[in-house]
Structures are given as structure tokens and as C-alpha cells.
Amino acid sequence: MSTTDQTQTTAEKAKAPRMSRYTSEKKAGKSNQGLHTKKSIILTIVMGALLIYSLLPLFWLFVNSTKTQAELLNSFGLWFSGDFALWDNIVATLTYNDGVFVRWFGNTVLYVVVGAGGATFLAALGGYGLAKFNFPGKKAVFAVVLGAVAIPGTALAVPTFLMFSQMGLTNTPWAVILPSLISPFGLYLIWTYAMDAVPTEVLEAARMDGSGEFRTFFTISLKLLAPGLVTVLLFTLVATWNNYFLPLIMLSEPTWYPLTVGLKQWNMQAQTVGGDVIYNLVITGSLLTIVPIVVAFLFLQRYWQSGLAAGSVKA
């Protein structure tokens, strides 16, 4: 954005591996401000309102996943009612249609592991390449990546579908995985992160020692990039876990559905001749869909916050 930015110039001054500094600065900053400040009740209350807003729908989801189909339609939405049917609902969700939910869960995990993992890897290679090497066409790479992402993805669905269909990829996991391998945001994040996290001096030293570029990348650079990688991984993880539109178009066999598409299909099932009305399973299934990703975020929050810090400041 600008070279005159104050943080930027300050950051430029601070040499050496940046990563450890982020965390230490963070702590220092906090305690430093903390010295002069009292806790504010009013601020806490205002933020409490925001908190309620954020959590209320999740609370609603939880409450309603404890209800039977009949209670679901005939009780106050924000409190428990009737038998506590959460376990029954979970069991029913997991066993409905010969356990197709479990299958969808497995598919989602597959798409996430290969898709998000692959996206992170490609972004790491590419971002590192952009940060640490000058090569012909570098600016073009940037312009092309930027230009292409502004086109609405949904509108590209048909051409993509027709192309994939010609290649025989539709209705296979590849149709979902291939597009999720691209994370322009991840590429950008690693790019900015790698500029400082991987000091050029270290690379020079490795070259002096006769290490190949890829060997240097895998043995040295990758470790230095770790916090940035975790951040990208988490964001691509959310993106693939929440992916809905693409699999909806590409897949016709429910055996390859991810959770989101499967849940929508269950929701639609109420409209079928002779179909079951299973809103309770839709709701419980939604809850089960959210849990793993929430857990992932909670456990890894320390990493992604510091990684994100690099990206946001650098812009």
C-alpha cells in the first residue's frame, strides 16, 4: 500500500527472523498497555451484546438439535423442550440411509486433507517463489491472478463443468479437489510472510554450501514459514470444509457429496413424495458439521493469529 506507512518502516528496521518477534511484541504490547488501563464494565457489556449476537444462532442450533422432529416444530426455539433427544438425533443422523452421513463426513475429510493440504503446499511454493526470486513474468503472474479472482466463481461454474466433463472429471472427487487447490489468498499471505520470515542471507549461505533451491526450501525455508503455513492451512481448511456450490454442480452421486451438499439434500427431502421430513437430522447434522472445524480453530488459534498478523500488516 505504501512505503511511508509508519508500521512498515518500523518493521523494516527490525531485522532478523520475524516470527518470534511477533509473539514477543504481542505480549509486550499487551502488558504495556495493561499497566495504564482499568477494566471497563461498560465496554464489557457492549461487547457482551456482540457476543450474544454471535453465539445466539449457535445456541439455537444446539437447543434444537436436542429436540425430536415433533418438538422441533411445536416448541419455543430458544429453549429446551420435551425429551432431551440429542443422542438419539446424533445416532439417527449417523445411521440414516445406511450411514450416508458418515460417508459424507469421510468425503469432506478427504477434500479437506487433499484440497486444503495441497492448496497450502502450492501456495507455499508459489508464494516463496514470488518472494525470494526475480523471474521473467513475475508481474504478469500477479496481474493474472488478481484479474481472474474478480470474476464470480458461480458464473464460471458452467464453463468449468463443461471442461471437466470433457476431461471425464465430473462426478469424481477430482472435480472438487482440483479447484480447491488454488488459494490466491494463501499465495498472497505466504508471499508477504516469506519476504521477512526467510532472510535472504540464510538462502545465500545455503547456496554457498551447494544446497539446491528445493533442498533449501524443504530443509530450511519451510520451517521458517511454519506459522504462515498454519494460517493458510486453516483458512483453506474452512474454505474446503464449507465448499458448497462447486460440489453441488460437479457431483451427481451422493456417494461423493461433502457434508454441506448432503445436508441441503436432506433439507430438500421434505419436498419429496413419500420422503421423510427430517429437519431434526438436518439440524443435528449441521451441528456435527460445525464441531470439527470449531475444534480445529480453537486448538490452532495461537498459530493462525500470528501468521495472519504478518499478512495484514504487510498489505
Partner 1 sequence: MTTLSTLPPSGQTRSSQAQPRPRKPHVQKRDWTGWKFVGPFMIVFALVLIAPVLYSIYLSFFKDQLVGGNSFVGFENYGQALTDPKFWESMGRVTLFFVVQVPIMLGIALFAALAIDSARLHLSSFFRIAIFLPYAVPAVVATLMWGFMYGTKFGLVGNLNEFFSIAIPNPLGNTWVLAAIGNIVTWEFIGYNMILFYAALRVIPTDLYEAASLDGAGAFRIIRSIKMPALRPAIVIGGIFSVIGSFQLFNEPSILQSLAPNTISTYFSPNMYAYNLSFSGQQYNYSATIAIIVGLITAVIAYIVQNSGSRKEA
Partner 2 sequence: MKAPHSNTRLRRTALAVATGLALSVSLAACSAADGGGAETGTADDIAAALQEETTLTVWAWAPAVEDIATAFEKKYPKITVDVVNAGTGNDQYIKLQNAIKAKSGAPDVAQIEYYALPQFALSDALVDLSDFGMDSLEDQYTASTWGSVNLDGGVYALPQDSGPMAMFYNKAVFDQYGLTVPTTWDEYIATAEQLHAANPNAYITNDTGDAGFATSMIWQAGGQPFTTTDSTDVALNLQDEGSKKFADTWNQLIENDLIAPTASWSDEWYRGLGDGTIATLNIGAWMPGNLESGVPEAAGNWRVAPLPVYEAGDTASAENGGGGDAVLAQSKNKLAAAGFVEFMNSGEGTQISIDAGGFPSTVADLESDEFLGYESEYFGGQKINEVLVQSASDVVEGWSYLPFQVYSNSIFSDTVGQSYANKSDLNGGLTDWQKAIAAYGNEQGFTVTE
Scan residues 42-101 and list those touching partner 1 (CB under 8 A).
Answer: 43-44, 46-47, 50-51, 53-55, 57-58, 60-61, 64, 73, 76-78
102 binds partner 1, rule: CB under 8 A: no
Q: What size, in residues, is the chain?
A: 315
Q: Looking only at residues 188 through 217 of this chain, which bind partner 1 when binding is defined by CB under 8 A? A: 188, 191-192, 195, 200, 204, 213-214, 217
Selection from partner 1, partner 2, none that 269 binds (CB < 5 to 8 A by kind) is partner 2
Restricted to residues 159-188, the positions that interact with partner 2 (CB under 8 A) are 161-162, 165-166, 168, 170-171
Per CB under 8 A, does 72 bind partner 2? yes
Secondary structure, 3-state, 181-223: CCCHHHHHHHHHHHHHHCCHHHHHHHHHCCCCHHHHHHHHHHH
Contact track, partner 1, 164-193, x by CB under 8 A: --------------xx-xxxxx-xx--xx-
Cα-to-chain-centroid distance, residue 136: 32
CA-based radius of gyration for the chain: 24
b/e per residue 221-255 (b: at least 16 CB within 10 A): bbebbebbbbbbbbbbbebbbebeebbbbbbeeee
Nearer to partner 1, 92 or 203 (CB): 203
Closest listed residue to residue 80, CA positions, set 92, 62, 98 = 62
The entry of partner 1, partner 2, none near residue 98 (CB within 5 to 8 angstroms by kind) is none
Q: Residue 88 in contact with residue 70, Cβ under 8 Å?
A: no
The site for partner 2, by CB under 8 A, has a size of: 29
Task: Say if CB 191 and CB 234 are below 8 A apart.
Answer: no
Contacts to partner 2 from residues 250-269, by CB under 8 A: 252-254, 265, 268-269
Task: By CB under 8 A, name the binding residues for partner 2.
Answer: 69-70, 72-74, 158, 161-162, 165-166, 168, 170-171, 249, 252-254, 265, 268-277, 279
